[in-house]
Amino acid sequence: MTTITISENLIKEKDLILIPRKKYEELLHIADKKKQTCAQFDKDLDEAITEYRAGKYFGPFNTIKDGMKFLKMQKIQKMKK
Protein backbone atom coordinates (compact mmCIF):
# COMPACT_ATOMS: atom_id res chain seq x y z
CA MET A 1 0.00 0.00 0.00
CA THR A 2 1.24 3.49 -0.90
CA THR A 3 1.46 6.10 1.83
CA ILE A 4 1.26 9.83 1.10
CA THR A 5 2.29 12.45 3.63
CA ILE A 6 0.38 15.72 3.38
CA SER A 7 1.61 18.89 5.02
CA GLU A 8 -0.54 20.00 7.96
CA ASN A 9 -0.53 23.56 6.55
CA LEU A 10 -2.52 22.41 3.54
CA ILE A 11 -4.99 20.53 5.66
CA LYS A 12 -5.52 23.41 8.11
CA GLU A 13 -6.10 25.95 5.35
CA LYS A 14 -8.25 23.50 3.37
CA ASP A 15 -6.18 24.22 0.25
CA LEU A 16 -5.75 20.61 -0.79
CA ILE A 17 -7.69 19.23 -3.73
CA LEU A 18 -6.97 15.86 -5.29
CA ILE A 19 -8.10 15.21 -8.84
CA PRO A 20 -6.86 12.93 -11.60
CA ARG A 21 -4.11 14.44 -13.77
CA LYS A 22 -6.23 14.18 -16.92
CA LYS A 23 -9.03 16.24 -15.35
CA TYR A 24 -6.45 18.76 -14.08
CA GLU A 25 -5.04 19.19 -17.59
CA GLU A 26 -8.57 19.64 -18.98
CA LEU A 27 -9.18 22.38 -16.42
CA LEU A 28 -5.91 24.09 -17.37
CA HIS A 29 -6.92 23.97 -21.03
CA ILE A 30 -10.34 25.49 -20.27
CA ALA A 31 -8.77 28.21 -18.10
CA ASP A 32 -6.29 29.07 -20.86
CA LYS A 33 -9.07 29.35 -23.46
CA LYS A 34 -11.07 31.56 -21.11
CA LYS A 35 -8.04 33.78 -20.49
CA GLN A 36 -7.50 34.17 -24.27
CA THR A 37 -11.19 34.96 -24.80
CA CYS A 38 -11.17 37.57 -22.04
CA ALA A 39 -8.01 39.18 -23.41
CA GLN A 40 -9.56 39.42 -26.90
CA PHE A 41 -12.77 40.82 -25.42
CA ASP A 42 -10.82 43.48 -23.49
CA LYS A 43 -8.91 44.42 -26.65
CA ASP A 44 -12.12 44.69 -28.69
CA LEU A 45 -13.82 46.70 -25.96
CA ASP A 46 -10.91 49.16 -25.76
CA GLU A 47 -11.07 49.58 -29.53
CA ALA A 48 -14.83 50.16 -29.42
CA ILE A 49 -14.51 52.77 -26.68
CA THR A 50 -11.78 54.58 -28.63
CA GLU A 51 -13.94 54.63 -31.76
CA TYR A 52 -16.95 55.85 -29.78
CA ARG A 53 -14.97 58.69 -28.24
CA ALA A 54 -13.73 59.63 -31.72
CA GLY A 55 -17.35 59.90 -32.88
CA LYS A 56 -17.23 56.82 -35.10
CA TYR A 57 -20.66 55.41 -34.33
CA PHE A 58 -24.15 55.36 -35.80
CA GLY A 59 -27.55 55.48 -34.21
CA PRO A 60 -29.45 55.25 -32.02
CA PHE A 61 -32.13 53.75 -34.22
CA ASN A 62 -35.84 53.98 -33.47
CA THR A 63 -36.49 50.34 -34.31
CA ILE A 64 -34.57 47.14 -34.90
CA LYS A 65 -35.81 47.27 -38.47
CA ASP A 66 -34.12 50.66 -38.98
CA GLY A 67 -30.88 49.34 -37.47
CA MET A 68 -30.90 46.24 -39.65
CA LYS A 69 -31.63 48.33 -42.75
CA PHE A 70 -28.64 50.54 -41.95
CA LEU A 71 -26.34 47.53 -41.43
CA LYS A 72 -27.42 45.96 -44.72
CA MET A 73 -26.72 49.23 -46.54
CA GLN A 74 -23.28 49.39 -44.94
CA LYS A 75 -22.56 45.84 -46.09
CA ILE A 76 -23.64 46.64 -49.66
CA GLN A 77 -21.45 49.75 -49.73
CA LYS A 78 -18.41 47.77 -48.50
CA MET A 79 -18.98 45.11 -51.17
CA LYS A 80 -19.00 47.78 -53.90
CA LYS A 81 -15.56 49.07 -52.84
pTM of the model: 0.49
pLDDT score, position 27: 93
Are 55 and 61 a contacting pair, CB within 8 Å? no
pLDDT score, position 7: 78
Compute how many other C-beta atoms are within 10 angstroms of the C-beta atom of residue 11: 10
pLDDT 10s per residue in the chain (81 long)? 678 887 777 777 677 778 889 999 999 999 999 999 999 999 999 999 999 999 888 888 999 999 999 999 988 888 887
pLDDT score, position 15: 72
DSSP codes joined into one string, 24-49: HHHHHHHHHHHHHHHHHHHHHHHHHH
